[in-house]
């Protein structure tokens, strides 16, 4: 689905599919350089990070392993509930492993702050975060993010895995959702 398929639902397009793919290739190069000669496990956060994780992984020119977690702090609304729940845990033992958490967006920072601490307690060699988008103005928790695609304003965005009530995930671009859709 393209932005042209839902023109009345978007205020504007922030990033096109081409821009997203280009930035993910750049992030993959950064990560590959930092982990040269090391085994790497990337952990995608379901469901939003599916697109980011898949395209980031395909941008690597080396072997890596992937696993998934599902955590929630949103429910079906547009604001974080403040409570983090694990819905699906890792299948992989991360003890002694280099782990990069891959997410599509950091909003308040609550989920990734909690998740980073949770994974760090499992004695990995390292844990870093890679996110396509970050909202610095919305952060309420300190989160050290090593790899950031873009910083964006504190607006409700959809597309490329980001949803509103499970819609818009398959939008190829990322755009600001029109308030009339969610108010």
- Is 60 exceeded by the pLDDT of residue 128? yes
- Is 80 exceeded by the pLDDT of residue 112? yes
Residue 87 three-state SS = strand
Set 107, 144, 151, 173: catalytic member: 107
The predicted model gives 138-160 an average pLDDT of 95
Q: Rounded CA gap, 94 and 126, in Å?
A: 9
Q: What is the helix (H) or strand (E) element at residue 104, kind and residue range?
A: strand 98-106
Let me know if 107 is a catalytic residue.
yes
- Is 90 exceeded by the pLDDT of residue 119? yes
The predicted model gives 32-44 an average pLDDT of 97
The predicted model gives 118-123 an average pLDDT of 97
| Residues 56 and 27 sit within 8 Å (Cβ to Cβ) | yes
Of 136 and 76, the structure prediction assigns the larger pLDDT to: 136
Residues 41-92: pLDDT tens digits? 999 999 999 999 999 999 999 999 999 999 987 555 555 556 788 999 999 9
């Amino acid at each position: 689905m393209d932005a042209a398929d839902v023109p009345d639902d978007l205020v504007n397009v922030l990033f096109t599919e081409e821009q997203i793919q280009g930035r993910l290739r750049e992030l993959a190069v950064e990560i590959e350089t930092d982990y040269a000669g090391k085994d790497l496990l990337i952990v995608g956060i379901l469901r939003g990070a599916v697109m980011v994780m898949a395209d980031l992984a395909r941008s690597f020119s080396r072997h890596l392993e992937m696993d998934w977690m599902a955590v929630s702090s949103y429910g079906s609304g547009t604001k974080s509930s403040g409570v983090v729940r694990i819905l699906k845990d890792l299948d992989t033992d991360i003890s002694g492993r280099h782990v990069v958490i891959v997410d599509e967006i950091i909003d308040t920072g609550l989920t990734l702050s909690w998740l980073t601490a949770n994974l760090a307690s499992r004695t990995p060699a390292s844990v870093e975060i890679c996110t396509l988008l970050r909202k610095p103005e919305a952060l309420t928790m300190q989160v050290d993010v090593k790899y950031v695609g873009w910083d964006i304003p504190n607006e409700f965005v959809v597309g490329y895995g980001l949803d509103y009530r499970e819609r818009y995930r398959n939008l190829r671009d990322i755009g600001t959702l029109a308030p009339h859709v969610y108010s």
